[in-house]
Amino acid sequence: MNLPFINRVFAQIFFLVLLTACQSLAQASYSKIPLDKLESAFEQYKEPAITHRRFKHADLQPLIQKHSAAFRVEKLGESVDGRSVSSMDWGKGKTKVMLWSQMHGNESTATMALFDLFNFLEGKGDGFDDLRTLLHTQLNLKFIPMINPDGAEAFKRRNSLDIDLNRDAIAQISPEAVILKSARDSFEPDFGFNLHDQQIYYNVVNTPKQATISVLAPAYNLETEINEVRGNAMKTIVGMNEVLQQLIPGQVGKYDDAFEPRAFGDNIQKWGTSTILIESGGYVGDPEKQFIRKLNFLIILNALHQIATKGYEQYTTEQYFSIPDNGSQLMDLIINEMQVKVKDKLYPIDIAIRRRESEANGAYYMAGSVEDLGDMQVFFAFETLDATGLVYTSGKVYPTAFESVKDISEDKALELLRQGFLAVKVKTGEARQLHELPVLVLKTTEKFSGGWMTGSSPNFFLAKDGKLKYAVVNGYLIDLENPKKQEFKNRIL
Ligand SMILES: [Zn+2]
């Protein structure tokens, strides 16, 4: 045997051993933060000044000031209505990461988590100092919380020009879009986090599980190709999903990656930043999204750690594609095989109902609507009723007006429902005033609309052999014999 050959073999073995050692070292440092530690960090650093998801621009200003010593705070510009948009920078590392939230004004979950994260990054002496030092030396972070403060003020999606900022990345008609684009251009981040909320009706496709978090590494072209930039975003998402699966198994969906040429995420990916979209959906029992806020905190911190250690390199794009797709198959209520009489003939109809959140006088109520009907087997619902043998029956208006909603108790409302009255009139009270009664309350008209066809307000009864069994009021199902405790968010019509 010749010696050079043996040397070469040894060199190769040595190299392989070294490589394996490096890989396991990287993995060891990547998997260093156990979930319970991450969770305890959240509990410790959760920003107490933010307690619900309808906070405003003014609420954030003192919180930004609070961090102005530890962060480099810079006013980037102003919204249409003159509200400031600021960036907060932290860290002195080579890898640049930009995180922006709430470009849709009513999508505030991640903004809450960013302020929790600011508290965490500013913390000390709590067992996380090594992690902080790692992040501080490896990363240069730029946070832009609440890019659409005017939309947040009205808690609506669009800005004050009624433009969807996520369709304004190219034309940049809106000052808020100009701010985001110039921040990207001057900073040139390696990684970007595009932080949104999605409707609560998204599910993990073909399952009844709500998509509490959805993710996407947006496409940068119509062919939805994968380059290194997009690939790194995909791999990072795989690591984030590992964290999520421990807390919300089966409740993470992957968004459709059709290229949208006007969207920020798609273009920022195209301009060379590995871009990750996080969409916060719904979670049963968490209407103010405080648990989902925690999930955002955990996965953003996880992702920053992955980026600082290049931990994402252990994952593959195939693993990203194995995350199931998002669906939009969730309803609030599905009533199966309700008998509807049309021209003296009974038809068994499944009816699918959503109660969408709407705003009135600074508070919110639910507006029920029939979304679809017929064969509803491809949908899932938070509540399902088998109405076999039950017949659709219209309701009546109670003939005597009450003085105000205060004169009607919940028991009284139920009693009226049992007598076939679906609506009551009140003499005083504002139209659109909120109430929590399980009955329709009328002010402006003596009629109410109700029906079973698509787009109708779901107000009706279900009867068996002429006896009323269930009432459906503004899309809420009420069992007239055994009414369960539920919260009604209705308004005077
Ligand atoms: Zn959005």
Alpha carbon distances (Å) from 28 to 23, 24, 311: 8, 6, 9
Report the separation in Å between the CA atom of 202 and the middle of ligand 1, taken as the mean of its atom positions. 13
What domain range includes position 192?
Answer: 21-327
Report the separation in Å between the CA atom of 105 and the middle of ligand 1, taken as the mean of its atom positions. 8
Report the separation in Å between the CA atom of 263 and the middle of ligand 1, taken as the mean of its atom positions. 10
| C-alpha–C-alpha distance, residues 51 and 93, integer Å | 33
Range scoring the smallest mean pLDDT among 16-25, 150-159, 207-216, 411-420: 16-25
Residue 4 in this model has a pLDDT that exceeds 70: no
- Which residues, other chains included, contact 382 with Cβ-Cβ below 8 Å and sequence gap of 6+? 284, 330, 331, 332, 333
Which CATH number does the domain housing residue 190 bear? Answer: 3.40.630.10
Report the separation in Å between the CA atom of 87 and the middle of ligand 1, taken as the mean of its atom positions. 19
Q: Last residue of a domain, which of 305, 327, 349? A: 327
- Are 299 and 278 within 8 A, CB to CB? yes
Residue 14 in this model has a pLDDT that exceeds 60: no
pLDDT of residue 8: 54
End-to-end Cα separation, the chain, in angstroms: 94
pLDDT of residue 27: 44
Q: Last residue of a domain, which of 310, 327, 344? A: 327
| Same-domain check for residues 284 and 361 | no
Residue 469 in this model has a pLDDT that exceeds 70: yes
| Same-domain check for residues 178 and 255 | yes
| Same-domain check for residues 28 and 54 | yes
Taking residues 94-114, report their average pLDDT: 98
Helices 109-122 and 35-45: angle between axes, nearest 10 degrees: 90
Share of the chain above pLDDT 90, in %: 88
- Which residues, other chains included, contact 9 with Cβ-Cβ below 8 Å and sequence gap of 6+? none
| C-alpha–C-alpha distance, residues 68 and 401, integer Å | 58
Rounded to the nearest 5 percent, the helix, strand and coil shares of the chain are 35, 30, 40
| C-alpha–C-alpha distance, residues 302 and 306, integer Å | 6
Output the furthest CA–CA distance in the chain (Å, rounded).
Answer: 108
Report the separation in Å between the CA atom of 166 and the middle of ligand 1, taken as the mean of its atom positions. 7
Helix or strand (DSSP H, E) at 149:
helix 149-154
pLDDT of residue 448: 84
Report the separation in Å between the CA atom of 45 and the middle of ligand 1, taken as the mean of its atom positions. 26
Tally of domains within the chain: 2
| Same-domain check for residues 412 and 388 | yes
Taking residues 85-98, report their average pLDDT: 98
| C-alpha–C-alpha distance, residues 441 and 455, integer Å | 20
- Are 263 and 218 within 8 A, CB to CB? yes
- CB count within 10 Å of CB 379 equals 20
Which CATH number does the domain housing residue 335 bear? Answer: 2.30.40.10
Share of the chain above pLDDT 70, in %: 93
Confirm whether 259 is domain-assigned: yes
pLDDT of residue 12: 54
Confirm whether 9 is domain-assigned: no
Taking residues 167-177, report their average pLDDT: 97
pTM, 2 dp:
0.91
Report the separation in Å between the CA atom of 194 and the middle of ligand 1, taken as the mean of its atom positions. 9
Report the separation in Å between the CA atom of 307 and the middle of ligand 1, taken as the mean of its atom positions. 24
Q: Last residue of a domain, which of 261, 293, 327? A: 327
| Same-domain check for residues 294 and 372 | no
- Are 60 and 86 within 8 A, CB to CB? no
Range scoring the smallest mean pLDDT among 91-100, 288-297, 444-453: 444-453
Report the separation in Å between the CA atom of 208 and the middle of ligand 1, taken as the mean of its atom positions. 23
What tens digit of pLDDT does each residue of 218-254 get?
A: 999 999 999 999 999 999 999 999 999 999 999 999 9
| Same-domain check for residues 287 and 367 | no
Confirm whether 11 is domain-assigned: no
Report the separation in Å between the CA atom of 107 and the middle of ligand 1, taken as the mean of its atom positions. 6
Report the separation in Å between the CA atom of 195 and the middle of ligand 1, taken as the mean of its atom positions. 7
Confidence at 50, pLDDT banded by 50, 70, 90: very high
| Same-domain check for residues 124 and 175 | yes
Report the separation in Å between the CA atom of 54 and the middle of ligand 1, taken as the mean of its atom positions. 15
| Same-domain check for residues 98 and 71 | yes
Report the separation in Å between the CA atom of 2 and the middle of ligand 1, taken as the mean of its atom positions. 66
pLDDT, greater one: 450 or 185: 185
| Same-domain check for residues 334 and 322 | no
| Same-domain check for residues 317 and 444 | no
What tens digit of pLDDT does each residue of 304-362 get?
A: 999 999 999 999 999 999 999 999 999 999 999 999 999 999 999 999 999 999 887 67
Report the separation in Å between the CA atom of 101 and the middle of ligand 1, taken as the mean of its atom positions. 9
pLDDT of residue 47: 98
**Token pair for residue 208?**
């009844």
Report the separation in Å between the CA atom of 72 and the middle of ligand 1, taken as the mean of its atom positions. 27
Q: Which residue's structure tokens are 């051993």?
A: 17
Report the separation in Å between the CA atom of 220 and the middle of ligand 1, taken as the mean of its atom positions. 18
Q: Which residues are within 5 Å of ligand 1 (an ion), measured at CB?
A: 104, 107, 196
Residue whose C-alpha is closest to residue 275's, from 311, 316, 226, 325: 226
| Same-domain check for residues 204 and 180 | yes
